[in-house]
Structure 1
Amino acid sequence: MTIGTTCRGKMSLLGLALALAGCAHSSSPIEAASGPEVGIEPGALRGIENSGIRSFKGIPYAAAAVGERRWKPPQRPASWTGVRDAREFGPACIQPPVPARSIYNDPPAATSEDCLSLNVWSPADARRAPVIVWLHGGSLRIGVSSLPLYDGNNYASRGVVFVSVNYRLGPLGWLAHEELSGESPAGISGNYGLLDQIAALEWVRDNIAAFGGDPANVTVMGESAGALSTTYLMVSPQARGLFGKAIIQSTNVRSFPELSQDDNRTPSAERIGAELLSDLGASDIAAARALEAQDLTERATAAGFIPQGTIDGVVLPRQLVDIFDSGDQARVPVIVGFNAHEFRPEGGPGPRMPSSLKEYEERIESIYGNLAPEFLRLYPAGEGADALLDAAGDGIFGWSGERIALSQRDLGLESYFYIFDHCYPAAERRDLCGFHASELPFSFGNLDAEALPDRWPVPDGTSDRAVSDAMLDYWTSFAASGNPHGEGLPDWQAYGSQQNYLRFVDTPVAGRDPRPGMFELHEAFSRRQRELGRSWGQAIGLAAEPEEPSTTRIKQ
């Protein structure tokens, strides 16, 4: 069922990312009057050419199982006769509304269960050009590839064939259940959104040459949930060989539910699914399939369902950290990083601080044991709630990103680490410097208010365009050659043994060891949590559960 079919200027946001808007695409071919034409396996497409850039939108890369066939892997898309109109974006995947007060609120013009489409921007004269495949963020709950922020023109103008992808979200994309596992030949369930992304990469392999792209030079790029998805793709055997590089903006390598057994003090994914069906009043999967998709999604969100990957032994064989520790991930070079102040709850008080310095120190000591002095050095009580906010950002996104940079380095691959710390007056006035997803307008070059959600602080600094141009130059040169560089830009050294990195402030600044002791503290804490059989990588600072003082020490 498609809802909200009225076209309007802007489309939706993700709880953490964004790209270009339009109306829902008709599922049937339409003869277009004029425009560039491309022939691919399912049929011919006609798009738009403007100033030497061609765009083709709403291209079905797979067929989603909907309604009574819901919760199946993606299928091959149907072919068509004639020329399919590819001038408008396809609908967003079904998702819940975002609160109006949220900085990420930008509701989609149209949604549908039949949403597995992608968009391509390419130079008109492209021949074996590097390819970037963009996966939007949004907590695996919201988002769409058609946001104005994600417009791919600035990448195509630099010689890249740019692809953006819709994938299933929320319970429709990430529900696991014992009945669904029983239906699967592999005995697994969940990860349907990840299977969509793999299908999109297979489509790129098979079809991107028709748009002037090189199927042997593909970079996967994502932010937040898109970065997490990119990390999933790095460890999934099903994605092996479908891409050769990765750009990972604010990822997470926390522990995830195992398919059928409780582990790390976390319920199994199948048990989480069974509890959700109970909350929905659905006696079985057949009853859940009978529910209207939007209603199911909104009720699941209200019930607290968290869409996330399932460690199923097949698509995600083991916990991410275990795969990186054993060196069994994809052997690809990476750009990986995070933002300086990921958590900044605009309009709210932030985490509640203890009433006194002594109480703060005592509570940290009860949680971190002999790691507490280092925690208190990095995140002192004198910084107030900002200390806990920065600890969470460092301990989730900073630790995860640097861990990937380190793991790829240990495989003998080039990995490039960054911190986005650029601020500008509109963000500074609202205490939103370096917040989660704040790098997106800069990494896409789409800085105008028309490209951003209504409550987003619009870049208005003197160096904003220069920062954006630098990021685009680094990102596109990496996609082309694996070496991020640009004329007049600082030399970005690989992470290496010196922990080299680049900090994006008013200009890119090269340095070593981004925040001395930060990675080592969070690595030691996560390692201790794993040794204790607990979940790791998400509950940081006072959000973590107290434990007896540990003998685990920081690894130098």
Structure 2
Amino acid sequence: MRKSAKTDHTFACLQNATSEEIFEGVNASLTNPTEKFPFHPTIDGPDGVYPDYPSRLFARGHFAKLPFIAGTNLDESTLFTLPSLNYTTELIESFLIANFSPPLVSTQSFDDAVKQLVALYPEDPALDGDMGYQSQRRFWIQTASNAGVKTFGYLFTQPQAGSGRLGVFHSSELVYVYGDVENPTPSDAALSSNMMDYWISFATSLDPNDGKGSSRTEWPQYTPDNQCLSKVIIQLNGDNLTAIPDDYRKEQIDLSIRCLSPSITGVLCRSTY
């Protein structure tokens, strides 16, 4: 199948491939350190599923204005980095260029943005977590709240026993939402109870603070700059469940938002940096 993928008959190839062959191809692509994921949404023009770059659609207000919860984990990217690699500046730059090209700006502007971003994350694979998750969540929630959408944000920081270098890794929050934490500590159990009640409350009332279930910290609505308690998210941690400002790594994430977040911004590197 991988040989056929180099021809003009990739669709027919995929139609006739077995699930084992598809998995083999996907797994092989994931071991390439210069590629993030083998598949991405593709712009398919007017009346398509993705008619344009999301950044352009957001700027025109063309998105579903429905209430939502959006959040990220403290160490989102560790699950997708290869510990055996030496993450040098050169490797990180090649990763960015390979995965975020072609840009919608000049090559010079794009190269300058890459160098600025790498300078803010010197030889740090955590860069991918901000680009792929943290900046995406922040940009989306700010765009929606500025449009008057009722939304709530979180940062999940609960320590994960035995996770080693993975830390608070991608998807580790799910077992807390579903009340399925294995061998929970008192901190885990309390947090899981709170998170279940937050989510159930939101599902039934579009607000995580319905006053029912466990006694829990008020989760502030995410609001624009011109309102009280603007840009506040909740830190989901069994020992420190509290509201915090959404300003961690602001300089780095702001640059990621402006320049190098293709699934959200379409690599629209603006001149304000």
TM surpasses 0.5: yes
Which of 316, 332, 338 is residue 72 of structure 2 equivalent to? Answer: 338
Verify: 1:508 aligned to 2:241, yes or no. Answer: yes
Please say if residues 160 and 168 of structure 2, whose CA atoms lie closer than 8 Å, have aligned partners that are also in contact. Answer: no
Relative distance call for 1:431 and 1:460 in structure 2 (3 A) is farther
How much does 1:277 deviate?
A: 7.8
Q: Which runs of 5+ in 1 are unaligned?
A: 1-274, 449-458, 538-549
Give the Cα separation in 2 of the matches to 1:437 and 1:320.
Answer: 24
Q: When the two structures are aligned, how many residues end up with a matched partner?
A: 240
1:412-459 residue CA offsets vs partner (Å, 9 max, x unmatched): 1111111111104323xx1222111111111211112xxxxxxxxxx6
How much does 1:500 deviate?
A: 0.7
How much does 1:281 deviate?
A: 7.9
Which of 390, 393, 399 is residue 129 of structure 2 equivalent to? Answer: 393
Q: Which runs of 5+ in 2 are unaligned?
A: 30-36, 97-108
Please say if residues 179 and 192 of structure 2, whose CA atoms lie closer than 8 Å, have aligned partners that are also in contact. Answer: yes
1:293-327 residue CA offsets vs partner (Å, 9 max, x unmatched): 32542454367493333322322222222222221
Give the Cα separation in 1 of the matches to 2:208 and 2:139.
Answer: 20
Verify: 1:297 aligned to 2:33, yes or no. Answer: no
Moved more, 342-351 or 391-400: 342-351
Relative distance call for 1:473 and 1:323 in structure 2 (3 A) is same
1:29-88 residue CA offsets vs partner (Å, 9 max, x unmatched): xxxxxxxxxxxxxxxxxxxxxxxxxxxxxxxxxxxxxxxxxxxxxxxxxxxxxxxxxxxx
Aligned pairs for 1:10-89 (under 5 A) are none
How much does 1:283 deviate?
A: 5.5
Give the Cα separation in 1 of the matches to 2:44 and 2:17.
Answer: 27
TM-score, length-normalised on structure 1?
0.37
Please say if residues 422 and 433 of structure 1, whose CA atoms lie closer than 8 Å, have aligned partners that are also in contact. Answer: no
Higher strand proportion (structure 1 or 2): 1
Give the Cα separation in 1 of the matches to 2:5 and 2:28.
Answer: 7
Please say if residues 259 and 270 of structure 2, whose CA atoms lie closer than 8 Å, have aligned partners that are also in contact. Answer: no
Letter in 2 for 1:294: S
1:155-182 residue CA offsets vs partner (Å, 9 max, x unmatched): xxxxxxxxxxxxxxxxxxxxxxxxxxxx
Give SS of 1:436's match: coil
Give SS of 2:131's match: helix
Letter in 2 for 1:493: P
Letter in 2 for 1:394: D
Report what 1:552 is aligned to. Answer: 271
Letter in 1 for 2:74: A
Which of 221, 230, 235 is residue 494 of structure 1 equivalent to? Answer: 221
Report what 1:438 is aligned to. Answer: 172
Which of 245, 257, 266 is residue 523 of structure 1 equivalent to? Answer: 257
Aligned pairs for 1:22-421 (under 5 A) are 278-279=4-5, 289=15, 291=16, 293-298=18-23, 300-301=25-26, 304=29, 306-313=38-45, 314-345=48-79, 348-349=82-83, 351-354=85-88, 369=112, 376=119, 379=121, 381=122, 388-421=124-157
Structure 1 vs Structure 2 CA RMSD: 4.0
How much does 1:405 deviate?
A: 0.6
RCO greater where, 1 or 2, for CA within 8 Å and sep 6 or more? Answer: 2
Give the Cα separation in 2 of the matches to 1:413 and 1:478.
Answer: 14
Give SS of 1:517's match: helix
1:229-284 residue CA offsets vs partner (Å, 9 max, x unmatched): xxxxxxxxxxxxxxxxxxxxxxxxxxxxxxxxxxxxxxxxxxxxxx9683388968
Relative distance call for 1:347 and 1:495 in structure 2 (3 A) is closer
